[in-house]
Each structure stands twice: as structure tokens, then as C-alpha cells.
Structure 1
Amino acid sequence: MSSSVRPADAGQDPLDQSARNYRPISTHLAIAPPVSVVIPAMNEAENLPYVFKTLPAWIHEVVLVDGNSTDDTVAVARELWPGVKVVRQRGKGKGDALIAGFAACTGDILVMIDADGSADGHEIVSYVSALVSGADFAKGSRFANGGGTDDMTPIRKLGNHVLCSVVNTKFGARYTDLCYGYNAFWRHCLDKIELDCTGFEVETLMNIRVVKAGLKVQEIPSHEYLRIHGVSNLRAVRDGIRVLKVILGERSHRVRRARRSARVLPYGPRQGEVS
């Protein structure tokens, strides 16, 4: 499908773009920069029709990251959205897929959405509205007023609540939801949050690092539906432990980066660098 917005000039900060570069996209949102939607998918051919039919026609591009599917995931995506950009995932895991997808995007705003039919693409306008209005990072929440979920067991809900409380206490955040994969953000955020994990815990990592970077975060009420076809790869205990390790390891991550920088200073600039 063709885009109804004009890509911003390369290299410019999206917040510095003149509004005249953006065109009206709906009665709810007067202007919007180019929006790239990243969809990690592995064997989701049956679910993609439900995902794609909810995506707004004004989206700049759809980036499908294929995790070596053995079904018709790629063929179905190309049939549903002829201009889809397909990225073949080399590694494994959701975090790895998202990193590859973000690198392939050309839009000013990046939206991450699951391929199982649990997220409603019609909500994207709310995320983009928050970003255009001044937020750096629009974070979906199933527990904010107006949100909801059809796909969370009591044990998962308890675990999410506990982990969310730990993040809020440790990093000064005020999240109502932590482990949710429906988010949107300006491209410039990637320069301030180093993504270096491969699994489902990538969502928690992003939520922590946007707070540590001092970025403006706005929660967006979102409704999570049941997966339509197939079985989720999410495992509550296993992935909960991985999320906890990310939370506990974040402070040491910052210290390690500071120490690496300190060790480089005495040696002066490296080849290709300017002091």
C-alpha cells in the first residue's frame, strides 16, 4: 500500500521537523510523521490476516521480521500488504527480532506490535497522538484506566504486578504495566537506550532504559485479546526469571559502561575518532 505521509528529511530530529512535512491522517489526529510498524513473526500465517486488517492505511511502512518460519508467513504478509518490508531474522528471540526490525525502519516513529492477533492496530493512532503531543515513548498498558486483557492468568498478573512494583521502586517509574509488547517511540530514543538482549525481556529492558535516559513516557490504555491461532512461546516462570535478572542487572550495566569509558580515556582517541 502507498503511504499517505511524506518521509522526513534524513538525519533530522523528528521533533525539529516542521508540521508542514506531515499530512492529516484521520479525524482524530491532524498531523503525523512517517510511522513504521515492526511485527516479529514466526509461523503466524493464520494470524496475520487479523493483524493486518486492523493496521491504519496511513502507515508509512510495515516491517515484518520473519523468524525462519516454516509456514506461509512471508507469502501471506506480502499478499496482505504488497509493500511490506521483510527482514530475515538471523538470531533467535523476540528481542533479537525487534533489534533487526528497528534497524530496517525508515519512519520517524516506530511501533512494535505482536503477530498473534492479540493487539488492535486501530490503537496506533492513540500512540502516535501521544508522541506528536510531546511524549518520547508511548507505552501500552493493560492496567491503565481504559485498558484490559483477555489473555493473562492470575499467576502472570501477579508476577507482572510484582515486577512492575520493583521497577517503579528501583528506577522511580510510575508504570501500571511492565511486560507488554505494544509500544511506540520516536526513532531518536534508540540512540539513548542500548538494546542488548534477545528474549521477551526486551520489553522490560526498554521500559527501564527510557526512564534512566530521562525520556518522557506516556502510558496508553490498551486491550490485549487472546491469541487467535497457535500456542505462545511465552513461559511465565522461565521468562519471569529472565525479566527479574534484567531488572536486577540494570544498575551494574550502567556501572560497567562507565568503567569501560573510563578505561578508554587515558589512551586518547582511537583511529577514526576526533578528540
Structure 2
Amino acid sequence: MEQIDHDVLPGPRISVVVPTFNEAENLPHVFALLPEVHEVIVVDGWSQDGTVDVARELRPDVRIVMQNRRGKGNALACGFAHVTGDVVVMLDADGSADPREIPKFVEALTNGAHFAKGSRFMPGGGSDDITWLRRRGNRALNQLANVLYGTRWSDLCYGYNAFWTACLPVLQLDHLGEIADERRWGDGFEIETLINARVAKARLSICEVPSFEYPRLHGRSNLDTFRDGMRVLRALAVERWGRPGRGAAAPTVEVPRQVETSRPEVAASPDHFDVRS
């Protein structure tokens, strides 16, 4: 895989991918907190509340991508296909994730990680939104994932992540096809689990980053605890036994040259681990 070259850049170009569906009321808050980035890609699921118009009004340079199927997973896949920066940041549009945390994720990457994984359950993280039932379910699924994939994650079901664009081929996400009112496997909320599993199987270097989750500002979440919990469970099984497992040859993903010298320091940090070891 081609190595990213930052020799002439002051820092990585950050592409923020924001899936939206009727989030017009939440975008002013989210966009106001964004740090300076290379591009913001809003992937819209054919909203009926003027979300796209609001995004363009708030940020004239926003890139709008219309997803071709339904679901958050499909939205992310469509957005990733249009990224032009060096780093991809996955950011929810409901106000639950704090855009001001983006520099922490990017710092983890420039210090040597391939994938920066947000965690609500490590020191410095937290949540004002997760219910007792979802917390218990996440803990059980997280423990199962660590057994199946040999990882040490503290928060499996959290969608605030960042990674080098060079890692995109590892994810093998499907964004192709004509517009259709359907949802294929991987198009739903299981997307975070699919991404985590594929990153782990590729033995990429993962750094967990403490993150705080806030309640949704406006509107209703499409998340269903039991339905989507079962999709996550199925994703863990399908990715472990239904696709090439940990023994498969891992693709080569190069960390940018200018950050290689700081890698040993990160490896000694308690919140950093390498699933290749």
C-alpha cells in the first residue's frame, strides 16, 4: 500500500465524515465546535428537514454526498469513498460526540497508531447518554470481542474513531450500487463492530482515546438496544468465522515517516496496544 507522504505538510489533512438523517437542528452545534480541518463530508440519507441546506449555509465548503442505500454503515462507506485527506474522522451529527476532541485522536495517529479508537470507559472518558442496559450489553459484547480477536478494547460499541486514509482498503466497505431503498449486511449500526474487527484482523496498531459522550441534542435516535445488539453479536461471529480470520496475511499499511520516531513512546503508554503482538 502506498505510503502517505507528509514531508511538505505541517500536519495531516483531516477529513471529517458526518452521516446525517434529519439532523438540521443539531448541525449548528456540531459545526460550531469543529476545529480547523481539511474537509467536512456530510453523507445524507435523504433527509426531509433541510439538513443539506443547513449544512451548506453553515459551511459553504462542505462536501455533500447522498448515500445510495439506508443505514449508518452505508453512509460511512459512501463518505469514505470521497475522502481526499490523510486522516479520516468518524463523527456523529446528533451532538453526542464532541468535535473538540478531534485533535486528541489525530495526536494518537501522529504518535504512531494506525487507528485511534474512542472509549467512554477508560480514564478521562464518560457518558451522560448510555443507559444501564446498554452499558451491561456493551460490556458483555466487549469481553467477547476481546476473546475472539485477541484485543484489549474497553469500549466496542462506540462510533467516534479516526484512522489514516491508507487504512481504508483494510475495511473493505461496500459503497457501490444504484440508489435503492434497502439495507445490506454492514449498512446498519453494526458498522463500528465490522470496522473494529477488520482492523484487529489486519493487526494494525490501535490506540484507545478517552472520549465523553453527551445526550442527543434534538430528535430521536434510530438505535434499538436489542435489535442492534444482536446485529453486533452477529457481526462478531461473521467477522471471526465467516471471513478470513486472524491468521490471514495482513496488508501493509505504512505510518507516515515523520511520526515513526515517536512510536516507541506511544507503545509504552497504558492506553495504547498493538493487536499484532
TM tier, smaller: 0.7 to 0.9
Q: Please name the residue that 1:74 is paired with.
A: 52
- Aligned equivalent of 1:84: 62
Paired residue type of 1:245 = R
Matched to 2:241, the amino acid is S
- Contact 2:149 2:240 (8 Å CA) reproduced: no
CA deviation string 1:233-254 (max 9, x = no partner): 0000000000000001112332
Residue 231 (structure 1) aligned with residue 224 (structure 2): no
Deviations 1:198-222 (A, max 9, x none): 0011001111111110100000000
Matched, 1:191 2:169: yes
User: Where does residue 46 of structure 1 map in the other structure?
Assistant: 25
Matches within 5 A, 1:1-275: 13-14=3-4, 16-18=5-7, 21-23=8-10, 32-56=11-35, 58-195=36-173, 197-255=186-244
- Provide the TM-score with structure 2 as the length reference: 0.82
Distance 1:62 1:172, change over 3 A: same
Q: How far off its partner does 1:144 sit?
A: 1.1
For 1:143 and 1:71, locate their aligned partners in 2 and report how far apart those are by CA, in whole Å: 34
Q: CA RMSD in A?
A: 1.6
Q: Which has the larger radius of gyration?
A: 1
Letter in 2 for 1:212: K
Structure 2: which 5+ residue stretches go unaligned?
Answer: 175-185, 248-277
Cα contact 1:195–1:202 (8 A) shared by 2 = no
Report if aligned partners of 1:110, 1:185 keep a CA contact under 8 Å in 2. Answer: yes
CA contact (8 A) 2:2 2:166 kept: no
Unaligned runs of 5+ in 1: 1-10, 24-31, 259-275
Residue identity opposite 1:35 in structure 2: I
Q: Which runs of 4+ in 1 moved over 4 A?
A: none
Shift of 1:12: 5.0
